Amino acid sequence: MQTNIPRIMAVSSGKGGVGKTNFVTNIALVFRSLQKRVLVMDADVGLSNIDIMFGIAPKYNIKHLLAGEKSIKDIIAHTKEGIDIIPASSGIREMTQLSLNHKMKIVEELDRLDANYDIFIIDTGAGISDNVTFFCSAAHDVIVIVTPEPTSIADAYALIKVLYREQGEQNFRIVVNNTRNITEARATFKKISMVAERFLGITLDWLGFLPYDEKVKEAILAQKPYINLYPTSDFSKKLNEIARQFLKKEVNLLKGGMQFFLKKAMSQ
């Protein structure tokens, strides 16, 4: 892998409330513990919350970037754990539908950061908005978070279907969250995998599962990353397994990288 291209992973879900942002926050910390230089972009641009999960209060965010008031280096926030964050802007409706000019601006600014990071994690919004499909289609890896709830499975499949049919995306890595055990997790994966194979003709990739843990909510309320509070829990152990499994996966260098973002932006 070229040293000047970070591995770009977009983390998404078909619906909200499935633990997507919590996953992003904590997997970023695992990658950091593995000596990876990590950049996290809060691309849920209408409802920012990555900064809250890390317990920080950034002075600037992507709104200032798009307004031409600040450069991307100006708005990057730093956590005490050594993770860099591009904060979103909360409660601004126009941010939920980025224009072509806005996408181009983001891409041009991101291009300047290429050589600084090993892993670039994009926390997309939930659902199938233009913002979500744009960021997912331009990443090397699309991670879909799903829970055993039937609505979560149905909405995750809807996201996969849109990305496949409209963007030509075929590589999806599935993480099953909030499960009681491995049996339930595998059954959940099988449900969505069988539908994707039958109706789309694609094979989904099992990345791992995370057990239900009531302490996750406690960590969120405390505005502290879960893995910092409970590093030896089953949840944290599974996160480490998922991160190491992810790093073993081959990456398609023809897809992804900031220049790929640029081409995608121009074609949207």
**Placement of tokens 């659902």 in the chain:** 127
What number is the average pLDDT over the span 57-65?
90
81-127 tens-digit pLDDT: 999 999 987 655 555 677 888 888 887 888 777 668 999 999 998 88
Alpha helix locations (H) across the chain?
20-33, 50-53, 62-66, 72-75, 100-111, 130-137, 150-167, 182-199, 215-221, 226-229, 234-248, 258-267
> Which amino acid makes up residue 80?
K
Q: What percent of the chain has pLDDT over 90?
A: 60
- At 15-30, the pLDDT tens digits run 888 999 999 999 999 9
pLDDT of residue 2: 42
Residue 215 belongs to domain with CATH number: 3.40.50.300
Angle between helix 150-167 and helix 182-199 axes, rounded to 10 deg: 40
Please say if the pLDDT value at position 1 is more than 60.
no
Find, among 131, 151, 109, 115, the residue nearest to 12 by Cα.
131
On whether residue 188 sits in a domain, the answer given is yes
Of 138-142, 191-195, 251-255, the poorest mean pLDDT is in 251-255
Number of domains in the chain: 1
Residue type, 226: Y
Helix axes 234-248, 20-33, angle to 10 degrees: 70
Would you say residue 2 lies in a domain?
no
Residue at 26 is within a domain: yes
| CA–CA separation, 46 and 88 (whole Å) | 7
What confidence tens digit (pLDDT) does each residue in 7-17 have? 889 999 998 88
pLDDT for the residue 232: 97
Q: pLDDT for 115-124, tens place per residue?
A: 689 999 999 9
Query: Is the pLDDT reported for residue 262 higher than 60?
Result: no
Rounded Cα–Cα distance for residues 6 and 113 (Å): 9
Task: Read off the pTM.
Answer: 0.91
**What are the residues facing 211 on neighbouring strands?**
179
Handedness of CA 49, 30, 184, 217 (dihedral sign): negative
Could you report the per-residue pLDDT of 176-185, keeping only the tens digit for each?
999 999 999 9
Q: Is 1 part of a structural domain of the chain?
A: no
Please report whether residue 225 resides in a domain: yes
**CA-to-CA distance for 61 and 56, rounded, in angstroms?**
12
What is the rounded average pLDDT for all residues in the chain?
Answer: 88
For residue 263, being part of any structural domain is answered with yes
Asked whether residue 119 is assigned to any structural domain, the reply reads yes
Task: Find the distance separating the first CA and the last CA of the chain, reported in whole Å.
Answer: 27
Report if residue 160 sits inside a domain.
Answer: yes
Rounded CA gap, 38 and 29, in Å? 8
Q: Which domain holds residue 220?
A: 7-267
